[in-house]
Amino acid sequence: MHQESAIKVQNLVKNFGKGENLVKVIDNASFEINKGELVALIAPSGAGKTTLLMMIGCVLEPTSGEIWLGEERVYNNKWIAKDTRKIRREKIGFIFQAHYLIPFLNVIENITLLPLTNKISKKDAEKKAMELLEYLEIADKAQSMSSELSGGQNQRVAIARALANNPEIILADEPTAALDAKRSISVILMLKKIAIEQNVAIITVTHDERILPYFDRIMKIENRNIVFE
Ligand SMILES: Nc1ncnc2c1ncn2[C@@H]1O[C@H](COP(=O)(O)OP(=O)(O)O)[C@@H](O)[C@H]1O
Ligand SMILES: [Mg+2]
């Protein structure tokens, strides 16, 4: 199969602060991730995992370098797009350690919230949300409130929400940290299925050795650089 690039990073640098307070986090990193790949990102606490995800996700501005998302160069020593939020909305799905579902909305309302602000009709947004819930095997919870669901079920809803805009890239920051081994593996298998079937590139930050065998590649931050195992 032809391998299409989803994320290309070249000579990426990220420093925080200046002068005496300068903290170098990423120093001249280059790498590429293809569509359909499920990649683990592992490194010690404070090594820059969240910083790297947030730069790829167009949330945090790099210091210098280049970032391509699919065909589009989004960063070249400065943001190229005027509206980085639009790129985020259109191309990227985020999943966090905590599910951040809104407690007073039910499952389907949580999933359709963003698509509705994206000018998608209620009918289409709900149809898509139901398809995703079927796909993630929790359609029976569509009308439930987040508080009625288990940790693993809530994380599946968070995955459905991240998929609602058909993203090309999913960035997941320790999505299984709050789950036991069995549920963690089930979430990762779900991400694997999404990567393959929807041709999405997925980067998952994890500390969990038990789930590493399920990834296509393992990416590490070492000496402020990116290396693959
Ligand atoms: N907004 C910020 N200002 C200054 N330093 C920061 C900021 N965000 C992160 N850092 C520093 O950057 C480094 C990497 O942080 P982070 O990406 O959160 O690491 P990880 O996710 O791997 O634990 C840490 O040394 C952290 O203190
Ligand atoms: Mg982090």
Q: pLDDT tens-digit profile of 189-203?
A: 989 999 999 999 999
* Residue 69: partners with Cβ closer than 8 Å, 6 or more residues away: 6, 7, 56, 58, 87, 91, 92, 168, 169
Of the candidates 183, 186, 192, 197, which has an alpha carbon nearest to the alpha carbon of residue 217? Answer: 192
Tens digits of residue pLDDT in 116-172: 887 889 999 999 999 999 988 899 999 999 999 998 899 899 999 998 988 999 999
Cα(7)–Cα(5) distance, integer angstroms = 6
Task: Give me the pLDDT at residue 130, please.
Answer: 95
Residue 2 C-alpha to ligand 2 middle, in angstroms?
Answer: 33
3-state secondary structure of 79: strand
- In the chain, where are the structural domains located? 5-228
Among protein residues, the one with the nearest Cα to ligand 1's atom 24 is 46
Neighbours of ion ligand 2 (CB under 5 A): 49-50
Q: Which atom of ligand 1 is nearest to the CA of 48?
A: 17
Residue 228 C-alpha to ligand 1 middle, in angstroms?
Answer: 21
Residue 52 C-alpha to ligand 1 middle, in angstroms?
Answer: 10
Cα(191)–Cα(76) distance, integer angstroms = 30
Ligand 1 site-directed mutation target among 23, 49, 54, 207, most atoms within 8 Å of CB:
23
Task: Give me the pLDDT at residue 114, please.
Answer: 86
Task: Give me the pLDDT at residue 2, please.
Answer: 63
Q: Which CATH class is domain 5-228?
A: alpha beta
Residue ranges lining ligand 1, Cβ < 6 Å: 16-17, 23, 25, 43, 45-51
Average pLDDT over residues 75-103: 91
Task: Give me the pLDDT at residue 143, please.
Answer: 97
Q: Which atom of ligand 1 is nearest to the CA of 173?
A: 21
Structure tokens at 200: 């999405």
Task: Give me the pLDDT at residue 93, please.
Answer: 94
Least distant ligand from the CA of 97:
2
**Residues paired with 218 in a beta bridge:** 40
Average pLDDT, rounded, for the chain? 93
Q: Which residue has the tokens 């002068």?
A: 19
Task: Give me the pLDDT at residue 1, please.
Answer: 53
